[in-house]
Structure 1
Amino acid sequence: MELIIMSKEIKEYGKEFTGAFKNVKYKDYKFKKNNKKPVFLESISQFKNLLNLKDGMTFSFHHHLRNGDYVLNMIMEYIHSLKIKDITIASSSFFPCHETIIKMMEDGTVKTLHGDYFSGPVAEAVSKGKCKQPVVITTHGGRPREIMENELPIDIAFIATPSVDKDGNGTGSQGPSNCGVLGYAIADSIMAKKVVLITDNIVSEINQKEIEFYNVDYVLKVDKIGDPKGIVSGTTQITKDPVGIKIAQKCAKVIENSGYYKEGFNFQTGAGGVSLAVAKELKEIMKRTGVKGGFASGGITDYLVEMLEEGYFKKLYDVQCFTVGATESIVKNKNHIKMTANEYANINNKNNIANKLDFVILGASEVDLNFNVNVTTGSDGVIIGGSGGHADTAAGAKVSIIVSKLVNSRRSVIVDRVRTISTPGETIDIIVTDRGIAINPKRTDLIENLSKIKSLDIVNIEELYRRAINLTGKPKKRKISDEVVAISKYRDGTILDLIYKV
């Protein structure tokens, strides 16, 4: 398998918006299939004849219910019972709840997987070579780009939909399985050859229409599409760890003195404990300086909802709700705005939100001496996640910041070379750790602005690496096989790296 070498500075390339859809907005992509309303079904068994199910098809799913999703397993168990083979599952992400598909990978029902994030038993199975073909790990913006440009053709999109009205329109923000937003499923609903909404709540009218009836072929009502409590999977609380708080305080000071902190700045942070602590520390700076933000974006947590309600940001752009509080806010607050994955981070949508960010706060499993970041594999080579929006926002933001302890579990976050490139170093600007801060040498403006603040302890990345190795020693290189089990792809489709069997 050939590895495509990147020859351009991706941060600049990411702002050129090349591609088929560079001059159109998302609303112009809506391809009306017909004027007929979808057919409402009574049983999953009706799929066999209506959908012309056969070997080699590609089925898509979304992950807004996160670790509470029931639909992917429900559909694939049915497919398994029909003895259909060589299926590609194109889900926006895979969580521990999807463990049941491992047996289908082993017996040939599933040929390969395509997603933005892999965790739990499915990720481990992929790492052990259980899939017949290498899986594809792309970004949150890369997936809608591939779907909209037909690089990822979808035969049938099975969309978990918390509420569907009598006409067949769907929403994520109503009903017992409310997940807030359906942003990752919209491209699927537009481009798939067949679209099936799976719901546990049919109503006469919905409050925020996200999927249009004319893009839907069938609606199936089931007892339950998922457990909304599973949305809250992962850290969604501000860290209380003194070291994490110290990192957050340093990061907030970096933002304030970067030269880009000004009225109307746009901001995104992840849902991790340290990342949320950065938002808390930044709020105190905003209170002191009187500066108000334009928007905050991404996966939304309760803390960002509070900042919106208190007036620190004018708007929230939400592609995924991380908390129940966020699902409630998006219904009642007009300035808490739903967005699709295409609007969030598709490189070929010139209005994408990721490219309007001033600051993004990100985590890392590893960062190397060239600022490349790994959030996909652990030190043992096992898949632990994926880019998600990491690479998209790092490329789009004016200032991309990695926050991490320098040494965690006796391992240095700085390595000579990352195991897997998830986000290319050209797009990473600053690394903030508890034992020093490194700035990408290409960002001379940031170096000039931040070097004036002596308390920040600005050093080059080689010095950060030296400090870490003095504490941990230099780790031995682990041997890897030559069998490729996954491909790490960039938002524009470039192959960033290959992941090998463990």
Structure 2
Amino acid sequence: MKNALGRDVPGHPYLGLQPIERIEYKQTKSLKEDRKDKVHYDLESFIKTLPLEDNMTLSFHHHLRNGDFVMNQVMAEVAKSGVKNLTICASSIFPTHAPLVSLIEQKTITKIIASYISGPVADAIGEGKLEDVCLLQTHGYRATSIMSDETSIDIAFIAAPACSPEGNITGSMGPSSCGVLGYAIADAWYAKRVVAVTDFLVDVLDPEIPACCVDDVVKVDRIGDPDGIVSGTTKITRDPVGLRIAKSTAELMKATGLLKNGFTFQTGAGGISLAVAKEIHALCLNENIKGKFASGGITSYLVKMLEDGVFEELYDVQCFELDAVESIKRNPNHHKMSAAKYADIHDPDNIVNQLDFVILGATEIDLDFNVNVTTGSDGRIMGGSGGHADTAYGAKFAIIVSKLVSSRISVVVDQVTTITTPGETVDVLVTDRGIAIHPRHQALIDHLKATTNLPIVEIQTLYQRALALTGIPEKTQNLGRIVALSQYRDGTILDVIRQIDTAE
């Protein structure tokens, strides 16, 4: 069946932005003192005691990002039990999780639910090795689906940087400190059984996850390498073209009238997005503008803006850099939050709904402003929404920043390969060869043309400019079976991802 974006999907189609029918979640765990010692000192022996069965769902968080050891450690022992057809519900999967590929091939793992997947596991899914269809959710909807029991977790394994013998957990202590455990909160409160895996046993006085949520604590030598937290693009661009895009974006933000005292802001961790943060930092200091908060995955640039008084507060769902890990330990205005507080669609006061601006990247953006950050133009899985679609929906002004052409590939296409974020929630594209604003903002377009020198053009113009540089690209059409679904923050299906053709 076709959804509102014209994509053929197998069911539960995206119907466009709809009124939200809010639901109440059933909470089965109560906050109470729990002094029981729950510690086990051998992971292999402990896994043997678990009542593992075929078709179970096991969950993991990704706060150690590409430095995580726990998913590989646990799944190696689980595989020894001989169970099959497991679902892995992981907030994200990185290249370090390559050992999962063999478990996929052996049918130990037959389904994956995640918000972001890159590396060998992504390739294995794209090649059709995963028996069931992978579900790529937003960060907000992952929490929603767990709390509503749409995703029922049998055992949650929580990498715990610090944990007390009773099971109180924090991300802000220990040799593997990652700062925040926002994506593990829903798992801890709603999984049938919760196992904390830690390399640092200590009394925890201010836990993010209280002992009443935790059934077992397993001590291991190491849960990860915190240097892996900074994996990926968390460095500001030095490219003059990217810096020019950032400068234009800051000028655009100021011209909207939203950049004023009390403004709220989020930026991705890509090089150009971080350059925008740097421009806004300087602008706010020069013009004495003080924002209310910045949010999301927190980088060192946002920490510096907090310290310099540009923002009153930070709301942090995950730390992208070690400076953020240290900041949240010592700065009382740097707050931890859960994925649900960040972006649960059923919480009208969630943080994304309070954003004025969000700065995001794109692999592709099409003439209807639909954005792809899930696959390459060849259909290979290379990421996922994460918070992209959540923040684009919530923010008053969602800005995509990108070079128009990179490595002879245009970011603007007639139709994106995979829809991650629907165009009706995207407001503007800023490139080095012009700025395209969604036509629903005609009054703003007229205002900017009359009052600024910003190069405002239609997105069709950017597309034609790109084609003049690249020529008309050949389209890759994957006709294999559906291997993954792109799921929107309301649970509907935006698009399908098909098995790639690996023939030479």
TM-score by length of 1: 0.95
Residue in structure 1 matched with residue 283 of structure 2 by the alignment: 285
- SS of equivalent to 1:367: strand
Residue in structure 1 matched with residue 5 of structure 2 by the alignment: none
- Is the alpha carbon distance of 1:455 and 1:59 closer, same or farther for their aligned partners in structure 2, counting shifts above 3 Å? same
Residue in structure 1 matched with residue 71 of structure 2 by the alignment: 72
Which whole-Å CA distance do the structure 1 matches of 2:126 and 2:348 have between them? 35
Indicate if the aligned counterparts of 2:38 and 2:165 stay in contact, CA closer than 8 A.
no
- Is the alpha carbon distance of 1:30 and 1:360 closer, same or farther for their aligned partners in structure 2, counting shifts above 3 Å? farther
Mapping 1:228-307, distance limit 5 Å: 228-307=226-305
Mapping 1:449-460, distance limit 5 Å: 449-460=447-458
- SS of equivalent to 1:431: strand
Query: Counterpart amino acid of 2:90?
Result: S
Note if 1:224 corresponds to 2:232: no
The more displaced of 33-42 and 486-495 is: 33-42
Residue in structure 1 matched with residue 211 of structure 2 by the alignment: 213
The more displaced of 225-234 and 158-167 is: 158-167
Identity within the alignment, %: 53
Query: Counterpart amino acid of 2:363?
Result: S
TM-score by length of 2: 0.95
1:33 Cα shift? 8.4
Note if 1:427 corresponds to 2:425: yes
Residue in structure 1 matched with residue 142 of structure 2 by the alignment: 143
Which whole-Å CA distance do the structure 1 matches of 2:463 and 2:210 have between them? 52
Residue in structure 2 matched with residue 2 of structure 1 by the alignment: 10
Would you say how many aligned residue pairs link Structure 1 and Structure 2?
A: 491
Residue in structure 1 matched with residue 4 of structure 2 by the alignment: none
Which whole-Å CA distance do the structure 2 matches of 1:153 and 1:361 have between them? 33
- Is the alpha carbon distance of 1:34 and 1:132 closer, same or farther for their aligned partners in structure 2, counting shifts above 3 Å? farther
Which whole-Å CA distance do the structure 2 matches of 1:229 and 1:180 have between them? 13
The more displaced of 272-281 and 31-40 is: 31-40
The more displaced of 181-190 and 437-446 is: 437-446
Indicate if the aligned counterparts of 1:266 and 1:357 stay in contact, CA closer than 8 A.
yes
Which whole-Å CA distance do the structure 2 matches of 1:453 and 1:6 have between them? 38
For residues 189-231 of structure 1, give each alpha carbon's deviation from its aligned partner in whole angstroms, at most 9, with x where no partner exists: 000000000000001x225310110111000000000000000
Mapping 1:276-425, distance limit 5 Å: 276-425=274-423
Residue in structure 1 matched with residue 187 of structure 2 by the alignment: 188
- SS of equivalent to 2:157: strand
Query: Counterpart amino acid of 1:130?
Result: K
Residue in structure 2 matched with residue 478 of structure 1 by the alignment: 476
- SS of equivalent to 2:176: coil
The more displaced of 462-471 and 41-50 is: 41-50
Residue in structure 1 matched with residue 436 of structure 2 by the alignment: 438
1:454 Cα shift? 4.2
Gaps of at least 5 residues in structure 2 are: 1-8
Which whole-Å CA distance do the structure 2 matches of 1:491 and 1:81 have between them? 36
- SS of equivalent to 2:163: strand
- Is the alpha carbon distance of 1:471 and 1:402 closer, same or farther for their aligned partners in structure 2, counting shifts above 3 Å? same
1:34 Cα shift? 7.7
Residue in structure 2 matched with residue 117 of structure 1 by the alignment: 116
Note if 1:89 corresponds to 2:92: no
Indicate if the aligned counterparts of 1:57 and 1:86 stay in contact, CA closer than 8 A.
yes
Which whole-Å CA distance do the structure 2 matches of 1:30 and 1:325 have between them? 36
Residue in structure 2 matched with residue 134 of structure 1 by the alignment: 133
1:123 Cα shift? 0.7
Query: Counterpart amino acid of 2:249?
Result: C
- SS of equivalent to 1:195: strand
- SS of equivalent to 2:83: coil
For residues 269-316 of structure 1, give each alpha carbon's deviation from its aligned partner in whole angstroms, at most 9, with x where no partner exists: 011111010011112221232211000001111111011001000000
Indicate if the aligned counterparts of 1:263 and 1:292 stay in contact, CA closer than 8 A.
yes
Query: Counterpart amino acid of 1:2?
Result: P
- SS of equivalent to 1:499: strand
- SS of equivalent to 2:466: helix
- Is the alpha carbon distance of 1:286 and 1:30 closer, same or farther for their aligned partners in structure 2, counting shifts above 3 Å? farther
Indicate if the aligned counterparts of 2:38 and 2:166 stay in contact, CA closer than 8 A.
no
1:322 Cα shift? 0.7
Which whole-Å CA distance do the structure 2 matches of 1:218 and 1:154 have between them? 16
Residue in structure 1 matched with residue 22 of structure 2 by the alignment: 19
Indicate if the aligned counterparts of 2:357 and 2:397 stay in contact, CA closer than 8 A.
yes
* Root mean square deviation, CA, Å: 1.5
Note if 1:163 corresponds to 2:162: yes
1:38 Cα shift? 5.8
Which whole-Å CA distance do the structure 2 matches of 1:34 and 1:194 have between them? 17
Which whole-Å CA distance do the structure 2 matches of 1:484 and 1:294 have between them? 44
Which whole-Å CA distance do the structure 1 matches of 2:191 and 2:50 have between them? 12
Which whole-Å CA distance do the structure 1 matches of 2:53 and 2:87 have between them? 12
- SS of equivalent to 2:139: coil
